[in-house]
């Protein structure tokens, strides 16, 4: 569904406090700490406000959950429900792949009086691994080219109102500082539906080298009862947005040099895989659709 074509300034006023809090928590999982090698992390933060129900209510972080493990996969979930506002998120991280869903919705009526309702959901999943470049017949120091691909495969469900958000999959090579990123944004003029982004990756290394690589998936969805076009502040009807990247932000890697290969410290192969969703995919999708079902039931009531 296409969103209204207007210029907006999301979450002006009270909302920046909520957004900065969520983003700040998400930064805990940044890719700048190489001590996180051989670990997977997942974090979800949700928050909401409904001043139609309580005129004195202020923005707050309604829920937050973070997990870290050396084995994986790890999953974190978070849900916030305040009056007619709902926010939820799920993040799962494993070596070479991250999955997640964030959903926000407002199910109340438009209100021309004072008050505001809004929600935001933010999730981050990361992994970090080390690769040893090996060969049975090439001399130590022989140049080797590893070729890979970063893929972002997901879908956006949207229904009316002022909703916006973004999804980003990224990869960083600590040895060279090279960073690759794929970004999908949803806002004014966007069309809901599936999105598939992909970029090739080449790592030039040599036999005997060790490479540290980390990947991340970040997602954020926002809904607000107020948007602010040039004509002045206006209020909107019920709305909802879900980002589903349960399948998947994926990194694959193979050797392009005959006689050479790599061994990941985690034991992961990083080989290209089928695009057929695994059972966990359907579980994550179900988690995200809970928010949409709740929103539609609230509307019907």
Please state the domain extents for the chain.
15-300
Q: Quick one: which of 215, 214, 203 has its CA closest to 260?
A: 203
DSSP 215-269: EEEEEEEEEESEE--TT--EE---EEEEEEEEEEEEEEEEE-STTEEEEETT---
SS3 18: helix
Instruction: Report yes or no: 98 and 126 within 8 Å, Cβ to Cβ.
Output: yes
Polymer length in residues for the chain: 301
Local confidence pLDDT in tens for the 301 residues of the chain: 323 222 223 333 334 334 444 444 343 334 434 445 789 999 999 998 887 777 776 666 677 889 999 888 999 999 988 888 889 999 999 999 999 999 888 887 766 556 778 889 999 999 999 999 999 999 999 999 999 999 999 888 887 667 889 999 999 999 999 999 999 998 767 777 888 999 999 999 999 999 999 999 999 998 887 755 555 555 666 677 887 866 578 999 999 999 999 999 999 999 986 544 443 444 444 544 455 554 455 555 5
- Let me know: does 254 contact 262? Beta carbons within 8 Å: no
Going by DSSP bridges, is the β-strand pair 162-173/179-186 parallel, antiparallel, or unpaired?
antiparallel
Phi, psi of 234 (to 5 degrees): -135, 160
- DSSP secondary structure of 174-212: TTT--EEEEEEEE-TT-B-EEEEEEEEEEEEEETT-EEE
pLDDT tens string 5-60: 222 233 333 343 344 444 443 433 344 344 457 899 999 999 988 877 777 766 66
**Separation between Cα atoms, residue 250 and residue 235, nearest integer Å:** 39
Residue 221 contacts by C-beta under 8 Å, 6 or more apart in sequence?
102, 103, 104, 120, 121, 163, 164, 165, 241, 242, 243
- Please tell me the pTM assigned to this model: 0.79
- How confident is the model at residue 163, as a pLDDT? 82
CA dihedral 21, 24, 28, 33 (to 10 degrees): 180
CA 33 – CA 146 distance, rounded (Å): 24
Q: What is the pLDDT of residues 175-187, one digit of tens each?
A: 999 999 999 998 7
């Amino acid at each position: 569904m296409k969103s209204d074509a207007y210029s907006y300034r999301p979450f002006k006023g009270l909302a920046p406090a909520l957004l900065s809090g969520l983003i700040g928590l998400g930064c805990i999982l940044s890719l700048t700490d190489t001590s996180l090698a051989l670990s997977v992390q997942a974090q979800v933060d949700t928050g909401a406000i409904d001043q139609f129900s309580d005129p004195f209510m202020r923005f707050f972080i309604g829920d937050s959950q973070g997990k870290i493990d050396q084995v994986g996969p790890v999953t974190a979930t978070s849900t916030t429900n305040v009056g007619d506002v709902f926010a939820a998120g799920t993040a799962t991280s494993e070596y070479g792949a991250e999955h997640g869903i964030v959903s926000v919705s407002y199910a109340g009526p438009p209100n021309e009086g004072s008050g505001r309702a809004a929600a935001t959901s933010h999730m981050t999943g990361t992994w970090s691994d080390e690769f040893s470049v090996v060969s049975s017949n090439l001399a130590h120091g022989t140049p080797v080219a590893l070729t890979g691909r970063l893929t972002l495969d997901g879908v956006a469900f949207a229904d009316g109102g002022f909703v916006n958000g973004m999804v980003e999959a990224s990869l960083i090579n600590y040895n060279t500082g090279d960073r690759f990123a794929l970004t999908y944004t949803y806002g004014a003029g966007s069309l809901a539906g599936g999105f598939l982004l992909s970029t090739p990756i080449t790592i030039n290394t040599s036999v005997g080298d060790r490479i540290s690589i980390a990947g991340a998936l970040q997602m954020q969805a926002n809904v607000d009862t107020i948007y602010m076009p040039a004509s002045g502040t206006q209020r909107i009807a019920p709305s909802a947005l879900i980002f589903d990247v349960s399948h998947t932000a994926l990194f694959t890697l193979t050797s392009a040099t005959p006689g050479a290969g790599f061994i990941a410290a985690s034991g992961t192969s990083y080989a290209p895989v089928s695009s057929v969703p695994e059972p966990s995919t359907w579980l994550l999708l179900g988690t995200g659709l809970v928010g949409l079902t709740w929103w539609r039931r609230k509307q019907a009531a």
